[in-house]
Amino acid sequence: MTGEIPKSPTAPGPRVAIIGGGVCGLGIGWRLAAAGCRVEVFERDKTGRAASWAAAGMLAARAEAEPLEDTLLELNLKSQRMWPEWAQEVEAAAGMALDYRDEGTLIVAVTRDDVEQLHFHHELLRGFGLEVEWLSGAETRRREPFLSPKTSAGVYSAGDHQVDNRKLVTALELAYLDAGGALYEETEVTRVEIANGAARGVFAGDELHEADVVVLAAGAWSREIPGLPASARPPIRPIKGQMVALQMDPSAPLIRHVVWVPGAYLAPRLDGRLIIGATVEEKGFDTDVTAGGVLNLLLNTWEALPGIDELPLVESWVGFRPTSRDDAPILGPSPVEGLVMATGHHRNGILLAPITIDAVSDYILKGRLDAAVRPFGIDRFRLSEVEQRGAA
Amino acid sequence: MSNALADPLTIADKSFTSRLLIGSGTYPNQQAMLDAIRESGAQIVTVAIRRISLDGGGETVLDALGGDYTILPNTAGCYTAKDAVLTAQLGREALETNWVKLEVIGDRETLYPDTEHLLTAAEELVRDGFTVLPYSTDDPIVCRKLEDVGCAAVMPLGSPIGSGMGLLNPYNLEIIRAQTALPVVVDAGIGTASDVVLAMELGCDAVMAASAVGRARDPVIMARAIRHALEAGRLAYRGGRIPKKRHGEASSPGRGVIGT
Amino acid sequence: MGDSISVNGIERPLTDKTVGELLATENVDLDARFLAVAVNGAVVPRAEWNAAPVAADDDVEIVRPAPGG
């Protein structure tokens, strides 16, 4: 694979243009600016208001593990282990708290069919070698007393924590600006400038911003950035998710763990907000919050946690998971020299922020790619036989 | 499949070496779907017909599948004959096929077919030139009526969609098999390979699997298991099982045993 | 109040005269494969998109295949 990072003899580091001002773009910008690079971040909206804002902030490498995703699980676990220390580093750089919570995650079963499904999931997680604990209904309720009396079983994952992702956005923006990065909000990249197979910068409107390295961190929009050759267009589609937030009394919250009930997950924030997500819809960039979507989230939650009945519903929103063919991210070099990928994180963007940000900035600064992210290059799709047949 | 060429599955005017119809939903991700479908050996893949997003984005499931399969649009999610007929017609236009897997669902909890609407839709679609593969209850009378209106196969359920409970009434399936000249495709309820073997041993011609593969712990391995189960079950059916008896019958000669 | 039309279940003002114009207004790629359109419960074949009229209160459905069992 090409994608060597050009060394500039005069500047302390390469000039970098980053497409996308979400957690990945801001985080990479922060690291590079702090290392002395001249960095520009281009964000089509306000910073971090897409998937980074919509997310629930769950760092759930274990509870969310899925069949056939062993390689991704390794990456998720590695990033999960980085999180506590990484959070402290961000907090120190930004001078604000991220509300990291480490109570762990409970997966809850109510009906008989739920228990069967939970057994299946528990076996899957154990098969992956993950430390998760099977709990009786009574033990589950002892840990979260407001769960329905019908709660019949639970699985506890101590290692799956959460963070307030909106605070993370704000903190990374502060850290980035503080490190001297330039931020262009509401500025769409109209074209990636490529000459002789190498990225030379990006156009914002009619103006060329020259750069030695261009980072594609545009989330669900990554496939649609103009100017990319087919081989460097990441196969990413948006998967719509609807979410709602209820307001609990922060001094007497209904739950303290992240709780998965059948058909919804609940992330309780320190400020009392209870984040409930999320639908999974192949609907392109459709931004509607629908009656059916909210109904399902609330009904599924209410069945397991009837105490939500009286809570005010304070917000509802839609986000777009940037999803590749295999649900895994696309990281590192591309067939275009100087064009680096940091996108396609599906539902794991917050979880994978530390490894993505550190590995991609390291690669840009030192030209070495962390072994942990090597399986996640865009070349894995190019080599796919099915892909080639589809293109033929 | 050994002997496959001599023992094809024929539905309407098409022949297949695989006896599996496979779904394209419920997989952990798109790549898992492609890998599992390839591993299953299936030649017929079902897809749903849905409103497009008017806000752009994404590729269709068919772009991912490529051109190697017979694509069978279904009418999943329809609750009336009217909606099912229009969905079938839209599927025909979108996919340039007159085949349709006809589903008219009766309620959300059981996902049982609405037989009255199913028969109405089947009759109308056959008149409109469709090759109709109707998902129905495992009721021999319903299957006979579907045959009478001109369907190309019958697709009785083994148990409710996605339940994984296998074939709850094998006796009905045997009766359906015995009475119809059409291919019998067991649809819905398959949980694992042994359910597929049983369906084949009963003489059914094919099996439809969706959740059984897509929601398995390892969909690719389960796809292979289902492929082998189809082969084992079909061969066992053709080989012919021995009668079940209450007493033992030695399989070695009784005479010439030492010490007698 | 001006004339309106329903597209995939959503009411919007009527601005187009034909199915082809309506698809263009909705940013649907007219050359995309696997698309189908129905107006008031009747499929409009692709060859007729440019000629087939749409009028006030019409009910338009635009569909394509999706993953499913």
Q: How many domains does chain B have?
A: 1
The band of A69, judged by pLDDT with boundaries at 50, 70 and 90, is confident
Q: Which of B22, B54, B103 to mutate to test the interface with C (most CBs of C within 10 A)?
A: B54
DSSP letter string, A288-320: ---HHHHHHHHHHHHHH-GGGGGS-EEEEEEEE
Per-residue pLDDT, averaged over B138-161, amounts to 96
Burial class (CB within 10 angstroms; exposed 0-12, middle 13-18, buried 19+) of B192: middle
Q: Would B248 be classed as within a structural domain?
A: no
Give the rounded percent of residues in chain B with a pLDDT score beyond 90. Answer: 76
Question: Which residues, other chains included, contact A170 with Cβ-Cβ below 8 Å and sequence gap of 6+?
Answer: A48, A94, A96
Looking at this predicted complex, what is its ipTM? 0.89
Contact A67 B219 (CB under 8 A): yes
The band of C34, judged by pLDDT with boundaries at 50, 70 and 90, is confident
List active site positions of B: 101
Nearest CB among A123, A283, A325 relative to B30 is that of: A325
Query: What is d(CA B133, CA B75) in angstroms, rounded to the nearest whole number?
Result: 11
pLDDT digits (tens, 9 = 90+) for B197-241: 999 999 999 999 999 999 999 999 999 999 999 999 999 999 899
The band of A8, judged by pLDDT with boundaries at 50, 70 and 90, is very low
Q: How far is B119 from chain C (nearest CA, A)?
A: 20
pLDDT digits (tens, 9 = 90+) for B68-106: 899 999 999 999 999 999 999 999 999 999 999 999 999
Q: Please say whether the beta carbons of A215 and A25 come within 8 A.
A: yes
HSE of A186 in the Cβ direction (CA atoms, 13 Å)?
Answer: 0
Per-residue pLDDT, averaged over A242-269, amounts to 96
- Chain A touching partners, 3 or more CB pairs below 8 A: B
* pLDDT score at C1: 57
Nearest CB among A284, A326, A389 relative to B29 is that of: A326
Contact B161 C26 (CB under 8 A): no
Q: Would B3 be classed as within a structural domain?
A: no
pLDDT digits (tens, 9 = 90+) for B101-124: 999 999 988 899 999 999 999 999
Contact C68 B92 (CB under 8 A): no
Question: Which residues, other chains included, contact A250 with Cβ-Cβ below 8 Å and sequence gap of 6+?
Answer: A270, A271, A272
Catalogue all structural domains in chain C, each as residue range(s) with its CATH number.
Answer: 4-63 (3.10.20.30)
Query: What is d(CA B39, CA A313) in angstroms, rounded to the nearest whole number?
Result: 47
Which of chain B's residues have a Cβ under 8 Å away from the Cβ of C10?
A: 54
What part of A 73-92 touches B (C-beta under 8 Å)? Answer: none
- Beta-strand relationship, B206-209 and B20-23: parallel
Look up the domain containing B200 and give its range: 9-239
Nearest CB among B54, B61, B82 relative to C66 is that of: B61
Q: Check pLDDT > 70 for residue A388.
A: no
pLDDT digits (tens, 9 = 90+) for A293-333: 999 999 999 999 999 999 999 999 999 999 998 899 999 99
Amino acid (one-letter) located at B148: D
Query: What is d(CA A259, CA A276) in angstroms, rounded to the nearest whole number?
Result: 10
Q: Would B233 be classed as within a structural domain?
A: yes
Contact B31 A124 (CB under 8 A): no
The band of A386, judged by pLDDT with boundaries at 50, 70 and 90, is very low
Q: Would B253 be classed as within a structural domain?
A: no
Q: Considering only residues A375 and A6, tell me which one the structure prediction assigns the higher pLDDT.
A: A375
Q: What value, to the nearest 5°, has the Cα angle with vertex A102 and ends A98 and A106? A: 125
pLDDT digits (tens, 9 = 90+) for A115-137: 999 999 999 999 999 999 999 99
Exposure string (b/e) for B166-188, b if CB count within 10 Å is 16 or more?
bbebbebbebbbeebebbbbbbb
Q: What is the dihedral angle through the alpha carbons of B56, A357, A128, A280, rounded to the nearest 10 degrees?
A: -20
Contact B47 C61 (CB under 8 A): no
Q: Would B234 be classed as within a structural domain?
A: yes
CATH number at residue B137: 3.20.20.70
The band of B52, judged by pLDDT with boundaries at 50, 70 and 90, is confident
Q: Look at A1-5, A375-379, C48-52 and tell me which has the smallest mean pLDDT.
A: A1-5
Q: Please say whether the beta carbons of A300 and A345 come within 8 A.
A: no
Q: Would B251 be classed as within a structural domain?
A: no
Query: What is d(CA B1, CA A210) in angstroms, rounded to the nearest whole number?
Result: 59
Q: Check pLDDT > 90 for residue A59.
A: yes
Q: Of the candidates B178, B238, B221, B228, which has an alpha carbon nearest to the alpha carbon of residue B207?
A: B228
pLDDT digits (tens, 9 = 90+) for B166-187: 999 999 999 999 999 999 999 9
Catalogue all structural domains in chain A, each as residue range(s) with its CATH number.
Answer: 16-54+166-236+326-391 (3.50.50.60), 103-162+237-323 (3.30.9.10)
Q: Would B249 be classed as within a structural domain?
A: no
Q: How far is CA A280 from the centre of its chain?
A: 15
* pLDDT score at A345: 96
* pLDDT score at B57: 52
Per-residue pLDDT, averaged over C1-17, amounts to 85
Q: Would B244 be classed as within a structural domain?
A: no
